[in-house]
Amino acid sequence: MSPLTGRRTPSAIVRRAARWPRWLDRSSTRQVMAFQIVGLNGNILPAQAAHISLTHPAWQNGFGVYESIEVVAGLPFHLDEHMVRLAESARLIDLDLPFPVEAITGWVRDVARRVGENCALRVVVLGVVNEGDEPVVAILPQPLPRYPERLYRQGARAVTYAGCRHLPACKSLNTLVNFLARRHAVRVGVQEAILQSDGRLTEGARSNIFAVHKGELWTPPAGQVLSGITRDIVLRLAAESGMVVRERNLHLAEVTEYDEFFITSTSMHVMPVVAIDDRVIGDGQVGPVTDELVRRFEAYHNRYFTTAALQHTGLQRSVEVDHQHVVP
């Protein structure tokens, strides 16, 4: 906290972003209060005051799209990329966004600033089915999931689940298969469920999947799976480090031939996986490539928020200086 302005300094924001385990202290009264607001069509309201009709055709038919965005100390992570994907998801199901992307982006920033805490923002857009339907863009603050540090040191376990997402490149409200897969993972006591169809591994219930084989990094092709924001960053970091990166299908039958395996998502970042079903991957330990990518991603994550915090505080100071020079 700056002793001069009372605001969080960039270094304070970065320290909160780097904290292990994942950054949310759910016991904070301030955070509990922060999650009691929502954004609805550009307005910020108490959660209990925000309503949509149960007869809304889009709600009844799952005709909508969404994004989940990580926020650290009121600053969203890669917001523009999330908004591009939101618009693309809408296009894939022929949903006309009821408001301009630029407006929705501004509303997300407003809610993130109002919350001011580490959180996930779920942005939900319902499509207009009939003339006169109420447009809905809801922005819902939620706690970021917490993951024990041991999962990153020792590796997580996963289970396969038979099923695949309809229109996998689209982040639509039709998430039933993801829900069932996650529920199955919880019931058997593992951290993630990996969807498989006819022996082909596609993606996690809430993550993208990667395999390391003989020094190469493999991941299912974009278009066949949701192109995750974290996935894209990891692919870029791997290529910059000199790794050979290939988009190719992954198969359950070849899991024991992989040297390493990991999953990526907004909340998990890069999480090592050491076993799928009863199949141990490599030597059952977190491998050096995965460990390096965990470190590279966290370093990138911290640099991102360092820059964002500096830009944010610089903008605030600019506004303050301009305001001081206004002549009444």
- pLDDT tens-digit series, residues 106-144: 999 999 999 998 999 999 999 999 988 889 999 999 998
CATH 3.30.470.10 residue ranges of the chain are 23-144
What pLDDT sits at residue 311?
Answer: 80
CATH 3.20.10.10 residue ranges of the chain are 149-301
What pLDDT sits at residue 254?
Answer: 97
CATH architecture of the domain 149-301 equals Alpha-Beta Barrel (3.20)
Phi, psi of 273, rounded to the nearest 5 degrees: -125, 125
**Who's near 39: CB < 8 A, 6+ residues apart?**
45, 107, 108, 110, 111, 137, 138, 139, 140
Round to whole Å and give the CA distance between 271 and 191.
10
CB 238 within 8 A of CB 262: no
User: Which residue stretches of 116-195 are H helix?
Assistant: 149-154, 176-188
Q: What is the pLDDT of residues 190-220, one digit of tens each?
A: 999 999 999 999 999 999 999 999 999 999 9
What pLDDT sits at residue 132?
Answer: 85
What pLDDT sits at residue 17?
Answer: 46
Where the chain has pLDDT below 70, the residues are 1-34, 313-328
pTM of the model: 0.86
Active site residue 171: yes
What pLDDT sits at residue 294?
Answer: 97
What pLDDT sits at residue 309?
Answer: 84
What does DSSP assign to residue 227?
A: -
What pLDDT sits at residue 319?
Answer: 35
Please say whether the structural domain 23-144 has been given the CATH code 3.30.470.10: yes
Phi, psi of 69, rounded to the nearest 5 degrees: -120, 130
What pLDDT sits at residue 123?
Answer: 99
What pLDDT sits at residue 293?
Answer: 98
Please identify which of the residues 157, 171, 269, 312 carries the catalytic annotation. 171
